[in-house]
Structure 1
Amino acid sequence: MLEQISFAQKQRLAYIDFCLLFRGAIYRQDLINRFEVGLSAGSRDFSIYKELAPANLSYDSREKRYVQTGQFKPVFEHDAQRTLVKLANDISDGFDAIGDIHFPVEAPSSLNVPDIFIVAKLVQAILSQKAVNVIYTSLSSGSGSRDLVPHSIVDNGLRWHVRAFDRKTQSFRDFVLTRISKVTIKEAPLPHENSESDQEWQRLIPLQLVPHPKNVQHPTAIEMDYGMESSQLLINVRAAMAGYLLRRWNVDCTERATLKGAEYQLWLQNRFTLNNVDNLAIAPGYTL
């Protein structure tokens, strides 16, 4: 049936599929507003989608929206890596389900691609502000059940995390998406479990980055790479993300710029701002 449908209508059907998968629900008006189609065209799209996958959605007459069923199976293939990038940039259009235009750009291979259904359940929980129960495998304790309250999906440059309140440790932590094997959405969280209480997430700290004074022979090249002004780059980052950024950019965080190697092209000049930041064990050369 899909072979007989126009490209434009496939995009709209993919959008319905995408919203059901990641939001858990979709209003008819969402489709009409997104694609600027008439009411009759929008209704026809939902009718076609129901023909393609009758068990995927049901109509909630009280809320006047279509909701995901327990038997939901996506009609289109949603690529996990590309979808996460789109979600991170607030581009949740579902077009990746039917193939975007491919540009001749190469990137390093991704070794850890999260399960798209795990991502979808977590996104649903975040959008609906619900807690979840997950099966999580950690390096220290192996596999086990954890109750989390997720609030953000995070790309640390190497892999994807979910930032969440962990009821086991009563603290906000990062959980690697590829280590989560099951997600069950639960009840609404308590006030102290919401993102507003995540102090490391809410707190912004300034990082003053300069060309490495010992490893870089021509600092102007580094200034051009990073768009520096007055030979420095001043950026504000969430305290919870500081360690990831410093590791990703190989920033020398020693007190006197003592790390050697061509990979260390930047030095953190104001390392005192890192006081009371939690995840600095991964920051190159940083010690208390």
Structure 2
Amino acid sequence: MSMFIDKGVSYVQKQRLAYIDFLLMFRGYFSRSDLTAKFEMGMANATRDIALYKELSPKNIELENSTKQYLQSKNFKPLFNHDAKKTLVKLANDITDGFDAIGDISFPIDAPSQLNIPDIFIVAKLVQAILNKKPVNVIYTSLSSGSASRELIPHSIVDNGLRWHVRAFDRKTKSFRDFVLTRVSKVTIKDQIIEPYEDKLEDHQWMRMMPLQLVPHPKNVQHPTAIAMDYGMENGVLELNVRAALAGYLLRRWNVDCTLNAELSGGEYQLWLKNRQTLYGAENLAIAPGYQQSEDD
């Protein structure tokens, strides 16, 4: 973004240009009304910002006269550097400013490094497909079959705590599945209409919400009040509603003992799932610590 400093573009206008860039990259289009609504500005100011963006990146946008929308061109190259880690957090929290700069302030906050960060251009194509309800053709590399072309209808991007996944209908297996984003090497959006059975509403594991009751582990924790404080429990219970498709990820991430009688030992198991019967029917429970479906479930 240093190129803007020489051109004398103000910080506020950088934000508006970054928003245009963000919409083009992750939605595939924008209109003047997007700018006027977001920044509470008049049409004339929005027109000037669009003209400046076109001056800086003349090959990035194409005007569709019938809709008065500006579309991402085939030669699109983002004007701004959309940092992968920051942008994924923004997308997860519905933040669409497109602007990564926070000035010269260095905040005293740190976090463990992520070992795998998806390609932001792969993410952008998938987000475009999701927002516009389009299928995609991807090159996906799996542990079992290597690299191959797959046709997917993506509907959500998920952080499971360790990796980013895209949840999608897979036309090969005719089922909804999770695909690791870092294993996707190419995405091509297809101009097709998705079938009703490929829609997110038909992903029953995604649409089903499971009530989980997490409590301090009755055998591994000497002072349960400390655990209750850690997780903001009320009356010693943390109650969550989790999608069935994501339940296994959450339980593994937080090392929740899912055995019937809190049988897992070790300091890493500080939580126990009190109502394990709620897990019946969830499909990704092989990764949930200690979970084995019993005749009583």
Shorter-chain TM-score bucket reads: over 0.9
Letter aligned with residue 23 of structure 1: R
Where does 1:71-150 land on structure 2 (aligned, <5 Å)?
71-96=75-100, 98-99=101-102, 102-150=106-154
SS of residue in 1 equivalent to 2:222? coil
State the alpha-carbon separation in 2 of the partners of residues 27 and 51 from structure 1.
17
Which residue in 2 is equivalent to 1:31? 35
State the alpha-carbon separation in 2 of the partners of residues 143 and 81 from structure 1.
25
Which residue in 2 is equivalent to 1:238? 243
SS of residue in 1 equivalent to 2:59? coil
Runs of 4+ in 1 over 2 A off after TM superposition: 98-103
Which residue in 2 is equivalent to 1:275? 280
Q: Report which stretch shifted further, 219-228 or 1-10.
A: 1-10
Letter aligned with residue 164 of structure 2: W
SS of residue in 1 equivalent to 2:229? helix
CA RMSD of superposed structures (Å): 1.1
- The answer on 1:53 being equivalent to 2:57 is yes
Question: What CA deviation, in whole Å up to 9, does each residue of 1:47-67 have, x standing for no partner?
Answer: 111111100001111010100
- The answer on 1:63 being equivalent to 2:67 is yes
Q: Report which stretch shifted further, 57-66 or 268-277.
A: 268-277
State the alpha-carbon separation in 1 of the partners of residues 106 and 31 from structure 2.
30
1:195: Cα distance to partner? 0.3
Which residue in 1 is equivalent to 2:217? 212
Structure 2 residue ranges without an equivalent (≥5): none
1:102: Cα distance to partner? 4.8
Which residue in 1 is equivalent to 2:189? 185
State the alpha-carbon separation in 1 of the partners of residues 275 and 33 from structure 2.
50
State the alpha-carbon separation in 1 of the partners of residues 10 and 86 from structure 2.
23
Q: Percent identity?
A: 68
Where does 1:157-176 land on structure 2 (aligned, <5 Å)?
157-176=161-180
Q: Report which stretch shifted further, 167-176 or 31-40.
A: 31-40
Letter aligned with residue 205 of structure 1: M
Question: What CA deviation, in whole Å up to 9, does each residue of 1:199-254 have, x standing for no partner?
Answer: 00000111111100110000000111111112111211100000000011110111
1:276: Cα distance to partner? 1.3
State the alpha-carbon separation in 2 of the partners of residues 144 and 196 from structure 1.
27
Which residue in 2 is equivalent to 1:2? 4
State the alpha-carbon separation in 2 of the partners of residues 103 and 121 from structure 1.
32
Letter aligned with residue 237 of structure 1: V
SS of residue in 1 equivalent to 2:44? helix
Question: What CA deviation, in whole Å up to 9, does each residue of 1:117-157 have, x standing for no partner?
Answer: 10000000000001111000011111000000000010101
SS of residue in 2 equivalent to 1:140? coil
State the alpha-carbon separation in 1 of the partners of residues 107 and 145 from structure 2.
43
Counterparts in 2 of 1:237 and 1:43: CA distance versus 1, 3 Å: same
State the alpha-carbon separation in 1 of the partners of residues 117 and 154 from structure 2.
19
Which residue in 1 is equivalent to 2:202? 197
**TM-score, normalized by length of structure 2?**
0.94
State the alpha-carbon separation in 1 of the partners of residues 57 and 116 from structure 2.
30
- The answer on 1:41 being equivalent to 2:45 is yes
State the alpha-carbon separation in 1 of the partners of residues 89 and 175 from structure 2.
27
